[in-house]
Amino acid sequence: MKIVFAPDSFKGTLSADRICELLEEKAKLIFPGCETIGIPVSDGGEGATDVVVSATKGTFCEVTARGPLGEPVCAKYGIFRENHAMIEMAAASGLPLVPRDKLDIRHASTYGTGEMIVDALNQGIRKFCIAIGGSATNDGGIGCAAALGVKFLDEKGEELESLPVNLHKIASIDMSGLHPQVKESEFVVMCDVTNPLLGETGATYIFGPQKGADEEDKKFLEAGMENYAKVLEKTFGKDIASVPGAGAAGGLGAGLMAFVNARLNRGIETILDILNFDQVIEGANLVVTGEGMMDYQSVYGKVPFGVGSAAKKQNIPCVAIVGGMGRDAADIYEYGVDSIITTINGAMPIEKALENAEELFSNAAERLFRMVRVGMQIRK
């Protein structure tokens, strides 16, 4: 019997590695001698670099980069398969890097993300996977582009500082200084939102408030983005602003599509492809996945969605162990997850559940495998 474990972490309580260990322990208790494979998975958000480096036996690199407001930060990215890099923009330009009382959306920049890319390019990396969730920025990616050598000019041809406060002043873009290795490289952007750059569902109006934008900021930045979008279209000859995902990470999606010719892809699909997941689960009798909270969002590119979909293609039963279930959690049944088991085994305060997360998970894992054994006996 072959069982594959492919969970996401339970944020703040259990790592995906520890979950795999607990699943293996209970699987072998109920099915002595079974073959188990544990493969921690990420949806391309926080923790993607750790997952990829661990699974591929890659290495970590550290670079001192500019944080969102220009302060130096130690940003980590991963190198795998010799010439591939996994970069999380949040490592240099993420919201957690800025204290809540210091948020300044008009001046927050993705420059540090560009510095991470430059560092990898200088090391010979030519294939990039860039996770763009969790940003503190709304600069349309001009900071990142500036780090790569792009210049943004005003009507007089003078260079502007690459900050959101100057978006409305951009009249032209000088690409002549772009890092020469960019044209030799491939960029995949892991993006799970479909927001365009502009409008009520765009970068500024949807994501700006969580980054500190008030009503005046939103109007100011949206006007800047509208100008920037026109200059992008004039420069590159295409309407990048309207592409689904262009508004991701404060418009970094648009910037990466424009300046490094990146293609956008779902994070979970990119991660599973890197992990060769389809090959890993070949011949499996059962796949076990999971996440901290399963709800209506789970079918929009979360780990159980990707894992369940892959298992469904090979007609492999798949079950999920989750910390809790929210609205429309059962929607996941359409995507290859056949059953959901919660770790909570009685009425309890959330604090108690978090404090006892490992014990509760272990108990749920045993319940799951006992139920699977019953099903096998019934089938006989």
pLDDT of residue 261: 96
**pLDDT value of position 236:** 96
What's the confidence (pLDDT) of residue 350? 86
The predicted structure's pLDDT at residue 379: 79
pLDDT digits 0-9 by tens, 323-379: 999 999 999 999 999 999 999 988 888 888 888 899 999 999 999 999 999 988 887
CA angle (137 as vertex; 46, 263 as ends), nearest 5 = 65
User: What mean pLDDT is reported for the chain?
Assistant: 95
Please, are residues 37 and 276 in contact by the beta-carbon 8 Å criterion?
no
Give residue-wise pLDDT tens across range 266-285.
Answer: 999 999 999 999 999 999 99
So what's the pLDDT on residue 208?
Answer: 95
Beta bridge partners of 190: 131, 265
Q: Supply 218's token pair.
A: 């939103």
81: how many CB neighbours lie within 10 A of its CB?
Answer: 12
Residue with token string 């750790």:
50
pLDDT at 47: 82
Q: How far is Cα 19 from Cα 322, in angstroms, rounded to an integer? A: 11
- The torsion angles phi and psi of 310, rounded to 5 degrees, stand at -65, -40
Rounded Cα distance, 311 and 320, in Å: 12
Name every residue whose Cβ is closer than 8 Å to that of residue 83 and which is 6 or more positions away in sequence.
124, 125, 126, 127
* SS3 readout for the chain: CEEEECCCCECCCECHHHHHHHHHHHHHHHCCCCEEEECCCCCCCCCHHHHHHHHHCCEEEEEEEECCCCCEEEEEEEEECCCEEEEECHHHHEHHHCCHHHCCCCCCCCHHHHHHHHHHHHCCCCEEEEECCCECCCCCCHHHHHHCCCEEECCCCCECCCCHHHHHHCCEEECCCCCHHHHHCEEEEECCCCCCCCCCCCHHHHHCHHHCCCHHHHHHHHHHHHHHHHHHHHHHCCCHHHCCCCCHHHHHHHHHHHHCCCEEECHHHHHHHHCCHHHHCCCCCEEEEEEEEECHHHHCCCHHHHHHHHHHHCCCCEEEEEEEECCCHHHHHHHCCCEEEECCCCCCCHHHHHHCHHHHHHHHHHHHHHHHHHHHHHHC
- The answer to whether 252 touches 113, Cβ cutoff 8 Å, is yes
Look-up: residue for tokens 């995507």? Answer: 335
pLDDT confidence of residue 369: 97
Low-confidence residues of the chain: pLDDT under 50:
none
